[in-house]
Chains A and B, each alone.
Chain A
Amino acid sequence: MMDKVNVELTVNGEKYEVEVTAKERLLDTLRKQLKLTGTKEGCSVGECGACTVIVDDKAVNSCMVLTAQVDGSKIITVEGLESKRGLHPLQKAFIDNQAVQCGFCTPGMLMSALALLNENPDPSKEEIKTALEGNLCRCTGYQQIIDAVEAAAAEWGN
């Protein structure tokens, strides 16, 4: 019988106490236990970035982290972007720049972009590309996504 672990997480500003198995990935806890299904499962081996979330200010693949490892951490998922004031500037910029096609990669892209802008509000195009290099998109061809992050960064500056 698989060992259980009690874990406390702060997700999008809300505290949760969850019981997880020793094999449970953060991705599974977010999607199955907390019903935060905005975070997507793509490749499951850290190659596609669809499951990217922010753990203690860093973008990470939630398929590559055991929930038991991040006890006490602060996590941001795509659901944490929208507020009472409406869409987050990054979300608006993705819409305005047509950076979404099928949408499967979008939550991961948004999280990688958010982690970048939180750390570096005025990134160069190269820095944007580096921040997004772990996120695959099979539809748009990336240009619109990079444009969107640039636009959001400009908005951030204002």
Chain B
Amino acid sequence: MIDYQFIKANTAAEALKILADKNNVKIIAGGTDVLVELHKESRDLEMIDYLLDISGIEELKEIKIAEDKVEIGSLVTHSRLLKNKFFAENIPFLTAAAKDIGSTQIRNRGTVGGNVCNASPAADLFAPLLALESEVVLRSQKGKRNLKITDFIKGPYKTHIRNDELLEKVVFKIPAGEYYCNFQKIGRRKALNISRLCLAFLTVIEDGVIKKAHLVPGAATPYPTPFKKIDDYLEGKLLAEIDPAETGKMAADAMVEITGERWSTPYKRPALSKLAERALSCVKEEAGYDG
């Protein structure tokens, strides 16, 4: 039986006090995951005594863009991410990922913090956020701590957030110089689409040479992981000389190294290979090396 007390926090300080004082608290923001769990009468919700609603906390709804750094408040909705002009112009793979989440109704409620804290293996925002080497800022009454998003994810649907902590924001540095990014996704249908596979790619180029590469597939591994092997292979090479198809195959092999052969491998191996190939081809074309 699910039975809890509903508490609404109007400020982050109020929320942190409740998290510090009470046990068995579940946080609800946009509710697009929690309400599904409620409807399914999920066992996990039977353990909670309090549902803490943070959806009205204004200080967590800010998008701050400085010269070299971006801060996205945990309560920024996918719709706001999608409509942000700076992201559309400068970090378009984040916009592309936000655009493919759920539907207009879901994007109007679902939040960046919710997507990150729910830690679904198929969470669309993880791939670009990992490629951007994002950090999460966790706040408790004891203070703040920053964690790399890769260190924040513990496993499928699990993170290293403590019971007394609130995700305040996600932060990342705006890539400097000449850089390109791309997001690819395959789902079973166009709208209300939960990723079967997605992939984010970000690269920084200097004089035609790949200085930095981050290739991050989503829904390919139990939880989103950067494919360092591919990044290492790409870095130092001329972008013009990269073979997207070959790199795609390497990415697919790297996935199978992590997951082993699974029932879905015959589908996911060629599909991921193609996604990586497309992302690299798009980036090459954008950079003017489409020949």
Please list the residues of chain A having a beta carbon within 8 angstroms of any beta carbon in chain B: 1-3, 5, 22-23, 25, 44-47, 49, 52, 58-61, 63-66, 68-69, 71, 112, 115, 130-135
Q: Specify which chain A residues have a CB less than 8 angstroms from the CB of B51 in the assembled complex.
A: 22, 66
Give the distance in Å from the alpha carbon of A58 to the alpha carbon of B110 in the complex: 12
Give the distance in Å from the alpha carbon of A97 to the alpha carbon of B214 in the complex: 49
Cβ of B140 within 8 Å of any chain A Cβ, yes or no, is: no
Please list the residues of chain B having a beta carbon within 8 angstroms of any beta carbon in chain A: 2-6, 8, 28, 30-32, 35-36, 38-39, 51, 53, 55-56, 79, 102-106, 108-109, 190-192
Known: A59-B105, A60-B105, A61-B106. A66 touches B3 (CB 8 A): no
Cβ B3 vs Cβ A47 within 8 A: no
Give the distance in Å from the alpha carbon of A65 to the alpha carbon of B108 in the complex: 11
- Chosen A-B contacts, 26 in total, with CB atoms closer than 8 Å, are A1-B3, A3-B6, A25-B35, A45-B39, A46-B35, A46-B102, A46-B103, A46-B105, A46-B106, A49-B103, A59-B104, A61-B109, A63-B39, A64-B30, A64-B35, A64-B109, A65-B31, A66-B53, A68-B53, A69-B56, A71-B8, A112-B104, A112-B105, A132-B104, A133-B103, A133-B191
Q: Specify which chain A residues have a CB less than 8 angstroms from the CB of B79 in the assembled complex.
A: 58
Give the distance in Å from the alpha carbon of A3 to the alpha carbon of B4 in the complex: 7
New A-B contacts (19) at CB < 8 Å, excluding given A22-B6, A63-B39, A64-B32:
A3-B4, A45-B35, A45-B39, A46-B106, A59-B108, A60-B108, A60-B109, A64-B30, A65-B109, A66-B6, A66-B51, A68-B6, A69-B56, A112-B105, A132-B104, A133-B192, A134-B105, A134-B106, A134-B191
Say how far A141's CB is from chain B's closest CB, in angstroms: 15
Give the distance in Å from the alpha carbon of A60 to the alpha carbon of B190 in the complex: 19
Known: A22-B5, A69-B31. A134 touches B103 (CB 8 A): yes
Contact pick for A23, options B32, B38, B109, B190, CB 8 Å: B38
Give the distance in Å from the alpha carbon of A55 to the alpha carbon of B183 in the complex: 31
Give the distance in Å from the alpha carbon of A1 to the alpha carbon of B3 in the complex: 7
Give the distance in Å from the alpha carbon of A22 to the alpha carbon of B39 in the complex: 13
Q: Specify which chain B residues have a CB less than 8 angstroms from the CB of A46 in the assembled complex.
A: 32, 35-36, 102-103, 105-106
Q: Specify which chain B residues have a CB less than 8 angstroms from the CB of A3 in the assembled complex.
A: 4-6
Known: A60-B109, A64-B109, A65-B35. A133 touches B8 (CB 8 A): no
Give the distance in Å from the alpha carbon of A60 to the alpha carbon of B2 in the complex: 24
